Amino acid sequence: MTTDTLAVIARRYACRAYQDTPVPADLLRTIAEAGVRAPSAVNRQPWRLVVVSDKTVMGDIETQGLENLRAADETGYARIQSRGGRLLYGAPAMIIVATQAVESPFPVALDAGIVVSHVALAATALGLDTCVAAFPGQALQPGSPLAAKVLPAGFDFAISVLLGYAATPGGTPHEPDFAKISYV
């Protein structure tokens, strides 16, 4: 037996080439709302979601991210270049999960991971293609002018989800390794 949720989980994949077609604002809103429904440790909700669909801002993030990546990680930069040189793969939109430090024994990164999972699965369920992406963090480094422009004050880039319509529909999810499951 399967459910719609399990079918969405099974078909989601990392899309690395998008059409230049805008994502409708109502879909972006619905997906962001799914993200903020995520649970968090002690219900602290140490995140803000930033919906980016402005072409200029997307371009600025890509340009600055590539510059910073080249200076910081030649291997990562080479990998992006081997995939067409597009840090954001031509995605017309993304949702950034920004986090703030909170006094808690529970890692904020775990909360961000739950949010990003909600965002990616909601987007897939609504017919969009996605790629969970840390590379935009290269452009949105703490204290940078671009981070100050894009992120809420007091919040840092944690993770993002690129959103759009695949340039070539029908991408293949990674092959799950069920041997990584143990039962006690």
- For residue range 94-121, list pLDDT tens digits in order: 999 999 987 888 888 899 999 999 999 9
For the chain, what is the mean pLDDT? 94
* CB count in 10 Å sphere of residue 94: 25
Is residue 53's pLDDT more than 80? yes
Is residue 34's pLDDT more than 90? yes
Strand order from edge to edge, sheet including 129-133: 47-52, 93-99, 156-164, 129-133
pLDDT of residue 2: 59
pLDDT tens across 122-132, in order?
999 999 999 99
- DSSP string covering 80-108, please? HHHTTS-TTTT-SEEEEEEE---S-SS-H
pLDDT of residue 6: 92
pLDDT of residue 174: 87
Percent of the chain having pLDDT more than 90?
A: 84
Q: Compute the C-alpha angle 49/54/59, nearest 5°.
A: 105
- The domains found in the chain, sorted by start residue, are 15-168 (3.40.109.10)
The three-class DSSP label of residue 163 is strand
Is residue 1's pLDDT more than 70? no
Task: Give the model's confidence band at 50: pLDDT under 50 very low, under 70 low, under 90 confident, else very high.
Answer: very high
